[in-house]
Amino acid sequence: MPRFTAENTILAKEIIARYPHPKSALIPLLHLAQEQDGHLAEDAMVHIAELIDHTPAEVIGTASFYEMFKREPVGDYLINVCTNIACMLMGGEELLHHLEDRLDIRPGSTTADGMFTLEDVECIAACTEAPCLTVNYRYFHKISTDEADQLLEDLRAGRRAHEIPKHGTLARVRQSIPADRRAGAAVPGECGQPVWMTPKDESEDAPA
């Protein structure tokens, strides 16, 4: 049950400093913990609570509201099939049932080998490309049952590893704000009227 690694602790502190209040960094830090361990480990949440100076109960309280945060380990590949209205009209349910049969699991569960978790999800904003699914949040548009079979086979054989990172990793590019370019967090109580907002009659020239 790991806490953040030394490297991730530095990153966590950097993320906290971007926000006017440390608690705003909570969801980003939960993502970081899930990226590190594949799911949210208890100790990581305790560590986050320490870093943002809140109680573990508050951290768990927030984490439990959001579907993407997994308190238990999930498969290497999380397959989310959309069955909402546009996808339902175009065969989303059939696609889901096909995958249930192929993987021999019901939505919400993980295969015995720990490879796949299947979920029946709401609209993933690909409605014109129905039916569709995501694997670890990478999109597959207009996917037939045959293509879905091929995808499972590729994933089992490790042929998609370059495009689909392991569960927990979302963006593989991180925002990083260079110290010399940073404007800084706008902390309530510490910021007055921005300098460029001088009233119109007082400013002869534009501020540039």
Partner 1 sequence: MSDQATDRTVPQMITGRFQYDDAHTIERYQATDGYAALRTALQMHPEDVHAEIKEASLLGRGGAGFPAGVKWGFCPPGVWPRYFVVNGDESEPGTYKDRLLMERDPHQLIEGVLIGAYATGCAQAFLYVRGEMALAQERIAAALNEAYAAGLVGKDILGSSFSCDIVLHWGAGAYIVGEETALIESLEGNRGMPRLKPPYFPAAKGLYMQPTIVNNVETMANVPWIIRNGAEAYTAYGAESSRGTRMFAVSGHVKKPGVHEVEFGTTTFRDLIYGHCGGIRGNHTLKAFIPGGASAPWFYEEHLDLPLEAGAVGAAGSMLGSGAIVVMDDTTDAVKAAWRVVRFFARESCGKCTPCREGTSWLEKVLRRMLDGQGRPEDIALLLDLCDNISPSIAWPPKQTTICPLGPSAVSPIASAIMRFKPEFQAYCGGGDVPTSVTINGKAYLPPEGAPAGV
Which residues would be at the binding site for ligand FES (CB under 6 A)?
82, 84-87, 123-127, 130, 132
Tell me which of ligand FES, partner 1, none is bound by residue 132, counting a contact when its beta carbon lies within the kind-specific cut-off of 5 to 8 angstroms.
ligand FES
Contact between 111 and 103 (Cβ < 8 Å)? yes
What is the amino acid identity at position 173?
Answer: V
The minimum distance between CB 49 and partner 1, in angstroms, equals: 11
Measured from the CB atom, is 111 or 145 closer to ligand FES?
Answer: 145
- For residues 69 and 78, give the distance between their C-alpha atoms in angstroms, rounded to a whole number: 12
Measured from the CB atom, is 103 or 130 closer to ligand FES?
Answer: 130
The minimum distance between CB 172 and partner 1, in angstroms, equals: 6
The minimum distance between CB 171 and ligand FES, in angstroms, equals: 20
Residues 6+ apart with CB under 8 A from 33: 4, 40, 41, 44, 45, 47, 48
Measured from the CB atom, is 110 or 134 closer to partner 1?
Answer: 134
- For residues 197 and 14, give the distance between their C-alpha atoms in angstroms, rounded to a whole number: 29
Helix (H, G, I), strand (E, B) or coil at 138: strand
The minimum distance between CB 68 and partner 1, in angstroms, equals: 4
Measured from the CB atom, is 18 or 97 closer to ligand FES?
Answer: 97
Paired with 121 in beta bridges are 82
